[in-house]
Structure 1
């Protein structure tokens, strides 16, 4: 049924992916200069701290697209409450999508860090931690779905 606890966890996955799409993922401030590099789900931009003007910007749409796919898979999984095995499979695929998204973000930030200022590492902020929170919520949802499936199978054995 749709009012189960795994539905709440899957809804929190959707909220986490929306946070990824709206908040910054990574910041780095160059101490020698007055520039700041920021990565969000849609682009990576270098801006001047004093004036706030964007000096350079490059598109990173694939991070946002992976977040949209993860949110869509979570919504689709919520709607598949009648077929628990299919729901678990969708959640496993969703976990894979989120792991790929984290890998892409780490690779992007590492290469940007090498280019911008290799002596100082940047800081992951709200958007990055939201992905990890979404992965944890997806794991909990899968656990409770599996628990429901095992309960239904044990009741079928008793009949």
Structure 2
């Protein structure tokens, strides 16, 4: 039953996590417009705006690793269609991984903002919002899996 609607939602979760890995998550420009700080899934980079030269780079691979784990969990969950309770458990774990990822991103961006330019907040961009799209798709997938489970149970009662 891989052609169910929850399969589409779980695939969209995996796509959203790939978007998190590919696009920037947060960026901030200092008041003089001379330096820009960008957080992506792999690093926190400070660049000179005029020359494009990297001034500082910090490793932030935990965001990328959590995004990879969430994408893998979504893909594994697609193929657990025969065991709906296990599929729902994997999706709940995946939701937890995505919430931890959002927490890590907010914490890292807040810490970087305090050091770089505490007067102005940075902007969250596509990579950050893709996580929320993935969380909504994961929630919808769980809803449809639960609906299938309830349908199977009601048919079993009739027999």
TM surpasses 0.5: yes
Gapped runs of 5+ residues in structure 1? none
Q: Does the 8 Å CA contact 2:70/2:98 hold for their aligned counterparts?
A: yes
1:113 aligns with 2:113: yes
Give the Å deviation of 1:41.
Answer: 0.1
Which range moves more in the overlay, 24-33 or 94-103? 24-33
Supply the RMSD in Å over aligned alpha carbons: 0.5
1:88 aligns with 2:88: yes
1:139 aligns with 2:113: no
Q: 2: distance between equivalents of 1:124 and 1:102?
A: 11
* TM-score, with structure 2 as normaliser: 0.99
Gapped runs of 5+ residues in structure 2? none
Give the Å deviation of 1:32.
Answer: 2.3
Give the Å deviation of 1:33.
Answer: 4.7
Q: Deviations over 1:53-103 (max 9, x none)?
A: 110000000000000000000000001010000000000000000000000
Q: 1: distance between equivalents of 2:99 and 2:78?
A: 20
Q: 1: distance between equivalents of 2:28 and 2:129?
A: 16
Tell me what 2:49 maps to. 49
Structure 2 counterpart SS, 1:121:
coil
Structure 2 counterpart SS, 1:36:
strand
Q: Report how many aligned residue pairs link the two structures.
A: 159
Tell me what 2:126 maps to. 126
* TM-score, with structure 1 as normaliser: 0.99
Give structure 1 regions of 4+ aligned residues with deviation exceeding 4 angstroms.
Answer: none
What are the within-5 Å matches in structure 2 for residues 1-159 of structure 1? 1-159=1-159
Q: 2: distance between equivalents of 1:111 and 1:42?
A: 16
Q: 2: distance between equivalents of 1:141 and 1:3?
A: 13
